[in-house]
A and B are shown apart, each in its own frame.
Chain A
Amino acid sequence: MTMTTAAGIGNRVRMMPSLTTAGPFLALFILVCLGYLMNRDFLAMSNVLNVVTRSAFTAIIAVGATFVISTGGLDLSVGSMVAFVTGIMILFMNMVAGDIGLWAIPAGMAVVVVAGSLCGLLNGAIVTLGKIEPFIVTLGTMGIFRALITYMANGGTIPIDASLREAYRPVYFGAIAGIPVPIVVSAAVAILASFILYKTKFGRRCAAVGANEDVARYSGISVATIRTAAFAIQGLCVGIAAICYVPRLGAATPTTGSLWELQVITAVVIGGTPLRGGTGRIWGTIAGAIILEVIGNLMVLSDFVSEYLVAAVQGVIIIIAMLVQRLSK
């Protein structure tokens, strides 16, 4: 995805969220008001926490996708990658659980983070060394990861060892100071990511590469390194999301994470990061992920959408959210 926009690099790099980046938050606010009007239970604490917790997987992965997309790349493999690394993690934990007991859980977390990063690195390396469009590369690895998890599971389910199940549950269902763990994790990921993207040389280079590859190259930036690193960050985020995902249902299946890549890309774009790259908006992405989950929640809580039309209404709301985001500029 070579970018040839006329605009210079400077004005595309967002140092901090400003008024112009308020779009997704405005859309989220409107949606929340609508939700409250439709059903008072919508703002019940338990419902709000459920929805935001559920959005954590999409949010964490989408933070990684913000890096990839800001460099002008695209990663379609994230949904399959979640399933694949989740499978690796569970198989590993079950294997060592007999020897090291509950230590299998932190060991599994380390394994899944490494596995995710390596998967991302693989994507990045094929894109940059092979000089192939990221769309095609990640379409390929999407199929590969999906086939591997299906093979590992014999098409069925890979459940976590019963001795680890209860001890690991709090990582999804538990709370720190009243805030569910997945929300704490995604907030931490977002804070760290916005620091990297907005405050470091690497972050500015990501945007520069996405805005104009040639200009970036002429100014001495190693485009290949930056792009590969962005894919590796994406993989790392997938690994972190898997850590929170496994304790929820305690299993990996061939349908785990199916179509998550579309959710993730939608969250990033609703959040204000253009698909052509050059800009990344971490907090917008987080808002985008929450918007998607709120829409799903509202479809059930409101009474006037037929179950047959849910997908259509969701589509309309996403497009309207996009327009709100555009018009507020």
Chain B
Amino acid sequence: MKGCSWLKAAAFSVTALGLVTVQSAAGFADDTTIAVSIPAADHGWTAGIVYHAQQAAKEVEAAFPHIKVIVKTSPSASDQASALEDLVASRKVDALVILPYSSEELTAPVKEIKKKGTFITVVDRGLNDPTIQDLYLAGDNIAVGRTTADYMKQALGGKGDIVVLRGIPTVIDDERIKGFQDALQGSNIKILEMQYAHWNSDEGFKVMQDFLAKYSKIDAVWANDDDMLLGVLEAIKQSGRKDIKLALGGNGMKQMIEKVKAGDALTPIEVPYPPSMIKTAIYMTAAQYNGQAPIRGKVKLDAPLITKENADEYYFPQSPF
């Protein structure tokens, strides 16, 4: 087996050398293979990941006929590890774009693929060993909290009482909350209470009903994900309360972007942690096989404020999310 992979590596470097000279002639089809390994769609955000990965695959293949993009979804970490083995067993993979289920379980399998000389792009969740990745691309969860807090300070005039709905206890949730709290420091905005609602609309509805029962005056609500915000908005609507001036979410669900576009009073802005980042990663990875664009390094997508003016940039009406 060892000798075999040696041979492959040798063959690969010969091809790679050849590429530089022959590529402009565009003589050969399916010359380069990019494999994309992502979680299966099991909630809104991962559904967005799958959608954007498939779109990117189509677009890249149409634009560069010599690049083939294979998208493989997996329902769990162990499935993803097996899928990686299958992907490289049957064909030569020049680059792997992976959004790992978990850092711990996927580090070793990706390292194996790296040994074959495959270019590794890691998206969103880092591996335990950062030396494996050639390109790392992620959103900024701290900025999601910070951008929201900055807007809230300005919109509420620097003072007010707010409640916060957290997601599932994870690093993602902690970072968003930290960015939010840090940005609020020094203002007179007081967080009355935070509760976990597990990024779930039904739980968001319940927790918001209880907040409304407990506090007679709430100036603003932040649900750190749009799924929860759906439930929050229903609870506010049912209560008929007029004291709530803002109900903000995060991630960039299309229903919420639609509200921003329509100039909704409660939800006038949105902050993205966009699943379209997988598309950015696939495009960047493909760039080096067409033009000669060096792309090794770390890329952090910011979480800019989405307002009525720039909402179209983040609006994907065909996406399930």
- Tell me if A300 and B320 are in contact (CB < 8 A): no
Which residues of A35-53 are within 8 A (CB) of B?
Answer: 39, 41, 44, 46-47, 50
State which of A16-24, A149-157, A223-231 sits at the interface with chain B: A149-157
**Whole-angstrom distance from the CB of B267 to the nearest CB of chain A?**
16
The segment from A119-127, A214-222, A254-262, A321-329 found at the interface with B is A254-262
Q: What is the distance, in angstroms, from B315's C-beta to the closest C-beta of chain A?
A: 15
Measured between C-beta atoms, what is the minimum distance from B64 to chain A in Å? 27
Q: Give A297's nearest chain B residue, CB to CB.
A: B210
Judge whether B201 and A307 touch: CB under 8 Å. Answer: no
Q: How far is the CA of A39 from the CA of B215 in the complex (A)?
A: 11
Report yes or no: B210 in contact with A301, Cβ–Cβ below 8 A.
yes
How far is A258 from B43 in the complex, measured between Cα atoms in Å?
A: 12
Assign chain A's interface to a size class: 20 to 34
B202:A307 contact, CB within 8 angstroms: no
Q: Which of A63-71, A129-137, A183-191, A245-253 contacts B (4 or more CB under 8 A)?
A: A245-253
CA–CA, A249 to B321, complex, Å?
A: 16
How many whole Å from B154's CB to the nearest CB in chain A? Answer: 27
| A173 on the B face (CB < 8 A) | yes
- CA–CA, A249 to B232, complex, Å? 10
Q: Which listed residue (A39, A159, A255) contacts B200, Cβ 8 A? A: A255
CB distance from B172 to the nearest CB of A (A): 16
Question: Dominant SS at the B interface?
Answer: helix
Chain A residues positioned under 8 Å from B47 (CB to CB): 153-156
A254 to B214, CA, bound (A): 31
Query: Within the complex, what minimum Cβ distance (angstroms) separates A314 from chain B?
Result: 12
- Count of interface residues, chain B, beta-carbon cutoff 8 Å: 38
Residue interface mask B161-180, A partner, CB < 8 A = 1: 00000100100000000000
B42 in contact (CB, < 8 A): yes
Q: Would B205 and A301 count as touching, CB distance under 8 A?
A: no
Contact A307 B210, CB 8 Å, known A154-B41, A155-B44: no
Pairs A–B under 8 Å by Cβ, sample size 17: A41-B214, A46-B239, A50-B209, A50-B210, A155-B42, A155-B43, A155-B47, A156-B47, A157-B44, A159-B255, A248-B234, A255-B199, A256-B202, A300-B193, A307-B195, A307-B196, A310-B195
Given contacts A154-B51, A156-B41, A258-B200, list 18 more A-B pairs with CB under 8 A.
Answer: A39-B214, A46-B213, A50-B209, A50-B213, A155-B40, A155-B46, A155-B50, A155-B320, A156-B47, A157-B321, A248-B234, A249-B202, A249-B231, A255-B43, A296-B206, A299-B195, A301-B214, A307-B196
Nearest 10 CB-CB pairs, A to B? A155-B41, A156-B320, A155-B47, A300-B210, A47-B213, A154-B320, A156-B47, A50-B209, A249-B201, A156-B321
Q: Which residues of A contact B (CB under 8 A)?
A: 39, 41, 44, 46-47, 50, 54, 150, 153-157, 159, 173, 248-249, 251, 253-256, 258, 296-297, 299-301, 307-308, 310
* B interface residues (Cβ-Cβ under 8 A, vs A): 40-44, 46-48, 50-51, 166, 169, 193-196, 199-202, 205-207, 209-211, 213-214, 227, 230-231, 234, 238-239, 255, 319-321
